[in-house]
Amino acid sequence: TQLLEQSPQFLSIQEGENLTVYCNSSSVFSSLQWYRQEPGEGPVLLVTVVTGGEVKKLKRLTFQFGDARKDSSLHITAAQPGDTGLYLCAGLKETSGSRLTFGEGTQLTVNP
Amino acid sequence: ETGVTQSPTHLIKTRGQQVTLRCSSQSGHNTVSWYQQALGQGPQFIFQYYREEENGRGNFPPRFSGLQFPNYSSELNVNALELDDSALYLCASRVDRVSYEQYFGPGTRLTVT
């Protein structure tokens, strides 16, 4: 059973389009992180959200943590080919110490 | 770059063999976690080391073991390799065991034939 469900699993769009990736769970997380991973490399941390309802912006990327701290979304505005990669959400639960639980990822391809 | 390094970058082993993977954490970080990432999946937590002691373990059998050294570098050892152990093995370091943010190395790609 996957604790964190990401959708969509694959996304192929044209440069300039907007997109949203979702990360959902039935469990409450004390914090949630988003990572981007390129082939042959480790995940790179993009953002950490901690407070329910929190919204963080990183240039064209907007991250939101659900009010109940069970879900999160990543919205990219005017996607560029450089945004191509595997986007992973990962949650920390208070009861599991510092163990990160990852979703299965969303593979994003932005075509020029 | 995150400052976390791993070696080797690639490794091919035969079923039944043993393997040791190495990780050097970012300067000032005393906590290291290891993850297994199978192709097309998100990373799965193996275990974490804090100040040279195991500090949390995921659903992996005892043939997965580790060490952390006084300089906070770490090793992951896998005995009796199975075909399903083929994966990207990632280590991640954090400032301490309660900090939110951790930084990943580039991983070691292990292929078991």
User: What mean pLDDT is predicted for residues A17-42?
Assistant: 93
Is pLDDT of B78 > 80?
Answer: yes
**Looking at residue B72, what DSSP letter applies?**
S
User: What mean pLDDT is predicted for residues A57-66?
Assistant: 96
Task: Supply the pLDDT for residue A97.
Answer: 65
Is pLDDT of B2 > 80?
Answer: no
A99 Ramachandran zone, left/alpha/beta (phi>0; psi -120 to 50): beta
Cα-trace Rg, chain A: 13
Measure Cα distances from A110 to A78, A81, B56, B93 in Å.
10, 5, 38, 31
Q: Enumerate the β-bridge partners of residue B53.
A: B50
User: What mean pLDDT is predicted for residues B61-76?
Assistant: 95
Is pLDDT of A1 > 80?
Answer: no
The pLDDT confidence band at residue B92, using thresholds 50, 70 and 90, is very high
Measure the CA–CA gap between B85 and A38, rounded to whole angstroms.
21
pLDDT, greater one: B33 or B99: B33
Q: Strand, helix or coil at B85?
A: helix
Measure the CA–CA gap between B111 and A87, rounded to whole angstroms.
24
Taking an 8 Å cut-off on Cβ atoms, the answer to whether B92 and A42 are in contact is yes
Mutation for A interface: B5, B37, B44, most A CBs within 10 A: B37
pLDDT, greater one: B71 or B21: B21
Task: Supply the pLDDT for residue B55.
Answer: 87
How would you write B21-34 as a 3-class SS string? EEEECCCCCCEEEE
> Residue B76: is it exposed, middle or buried by C-beta count within 10 angstroms (0-12/13-18/19+)?
buried
Q: Quick check: B37 and B18 in contact, CB under 8 A?
A: no
Task: Supply the pLDDT for residue A19.
Answer: 97
User: What mean pLDDT is predicted for residues A29-43?
Assistant: 92
User: What mean pLDDT is predicted for residues B49-60?
Assistant: 91
Q: Using CA coordinates, name the residue in chain B closest to A105.
A: B42
Cβ-Cβ contacts under 8 Å, A98 against chain B: 31, 33, 48, 55-56, 94, 97-98
Task: Supply the pLDDT for residue B108.
Answer: 97
User: What mean pLDDT is predicted for residues B28-57?
Assistant: 91
Taking an 8 Å cut-off on Cβ atoms, the answer to whether A99 and B97 are in contact is no
